[in-house]
Amino acid sequence: MKPRIAVLGCGYWGSNHIRTLKSLGVLHAVSDANAARAEGFATEQDCLAIDPDSLYDRDDIDAIVMALPPQFHAECAIRAVNAGKDVLVEKPIALNVADAERAVAEAARNKRVFMTGHVLRFHPAFEQLKQLIDAGELGEVKYIHSHRLGLGKFHTENDALWDLAPHDLSMILAITGSMPDEVRGEGAAILDHLSDFAHLHMRFPGDLRGHLFTSRLNPYRERRLTVVGTRAMAVFDDVEPWPRKLAVYRHAVWQDSGHWAFTANEPLYIAVAEGMPLTRELEHFIQCIETRAEPRTNGAEAIGVLRILTAGTVSHD
């Protein structure tokens, strides 16, 4: 029997969860503080509309996907796992590390699945990139940098760092397999007191370096993760069409008579099977519910991401 899943939060990203879960045959209910909005989705998707306060104690709901403003995530996740529900909580799972740790600990105490919505971990191009790295195709990874730039969206609680960086930090942590020893943040607030631009500089064990740049006031879109290794470099560019999303550059750099020399080679585009990251993420969540396996994007990873965000946050008060 497939799990019966409810979506709490019917906003922009919640609506994507609703439609995807419906396509997977597991959508049972929707819930939102705006009752009319929930009723609209319930009619459209032929499922139940349930008031948020009544959601947790329903015996006909096995799991809840939470796509709320982040300040409500931890409290609602704790309430859900204490009621025996498995949860997928969108990023960020809390606005501070202490609340995140409480939510993850309560899930563990209740033996509930706790998964975080770091959706790009399920992107086929990133999965292929991770396989190349693990197979040693890039050699030893020495530097990782990511750029996530665009115009909007603007939030009253989240700045550009907290809204955009979790995607890339989750991928960087998956590649490094460790937390950074040092984190330094820089930010610029243009519209109000929240950063519209943010840089993170990270140093990992083994002197692996990382750099992250996010912006919500950029005139063009950029969604690029670059990994520099001792044998090759790779670029995951999500703005590119599928045949060009993952490129490997086998440039050569060496010393000749005391001077540096190099050759620049054309990129080798790696074939990537097309697939929707959100669909693959929710399929993984369903599998974890059914098998009781630990999610790929679990609570420990989410806490790690929050620790980096906290260390890199710049106040503009």
Q: Look up the CATH number of the domain holding residue 254.
A: 3.30.360.10
- End of a domain among 90, 118, 146? 118
For residue 195, what pLDDT is reported? 86
> Residue 148 falls within a domain, yes or no?
yes
Residues 173 and 244 in one domain: yes
For residue 48, what pLDDT is reported? 98
Q: How far apart are CA 186 and CA 62, in angstroms?
A: 42
Contacting residues for 15 by C-beta, under 8 A, at least 6 apart: 41
Residues 168 and 239 in one domain: yes
For residue 234, what pLDDT is reported? 98
Mean pLDDT of all residues in 17-23: 98
Is the pLDDT confidence value at 46 over 80? yes
* Token pair listed for 210: 């990382």
Residues 230 and 197 in one domain: yes
Domain count, the chain: 2
- End of a domain among 99, 118, 137? 118
- End of a domain among 89, 118, 147? 118
Task: Tell me if residue 87 falls in helix, strand or coil.
Answer: strand
Mean pLDDT of all residues in 129-135: 98
Residues 96 and 182 in one domain: no
For residue 242, what pLDDT is reported? 97
Is the pLDDT confidence value at 152 over 80? no
* Token pair listed for 32: 């939102």
> Residue 296 falls within a domain, yes or no?
no
Mean pLDDT of all residues in 109-120: 98
Residues 131 and 87 in one domain: no
Q: How far apart are CA 178 and CA 172, in angstroms?
A: 9
Residues 270 and 127 in one domain: yes
Instruction: Please report, for the domain that includes residue 43, its CATH number.
Output: 3.40.50.720
Residues 109 and 179 in one domain: no
Residues 179 and 229 in one domain: yes
For residue 261, what pLDDT is reported? 86
For residue 158, what pLDDT is reported? 74
> Residue 301 falls within a domain, yes or no?
no
For residue 256, what pLDDT is reported? 83
Is the pLDDT confidence value at 6 over 80? yes
Mean pLDDT of all residues in 282-305: 98
For residue 194, what pLDDT is reported? 82
Is the pLDDT confidence value at 298 over 80? yes
Q: For 217-268, write each residue's pLDDT tens digit.
A: 999 999 999 999 999 999 999 999 999 999 999 988 888 888 888 888 899 9
Q: How far apart are CA 168 and CA 170, in angstroms?
A: 5
> Residue 289 falls within a domain, yes or no?
no
Nearest by Cα to 48 from 56, 33, 38: 38
Is the pLDDT confidence value at 155 over 80? no
Q: How many helices, marked H, and strands, marked E, lie in the chain?
A: 9, 16
Higher pLDDT among residues 36 and 188, named by residue: 36
Residues 170 and 226 in one domain: yes
For residue 182, what pLDDT is reported? 97
Residues 38 and 183 in one domain: no
Residues 97 and 145 in one domain: no
Is the pLDDT confidence value at 316 over 70? no
Is the pLDDT confidence value at 154 over 80? no
What band does 317 get if pLDDT is binned at 50, 70 and 90?
A: low
Peptide bond into 153 cis (omega under 30): yes
Q: For 80-100, write each residue's pLDDT tens digit.
A: 999 999 999 999 999 999 999
For residue 262, what pLDDT is reported? 85
Residues 229 and 203 in one domain: yes
Mean pLDDT of all residues belonging to the chain = 95
> Residue 244 falls within a domain, yes or no?
yes
Domain that holds residue 91: 5-118
Percent composition of the chain: helix, strand, coil (DSSP 3-state, to 5): 40, 30, 35
Is the pLDDT confidence value at 20 over 90? yes
For residue 253, what pLDDT is reported? 83
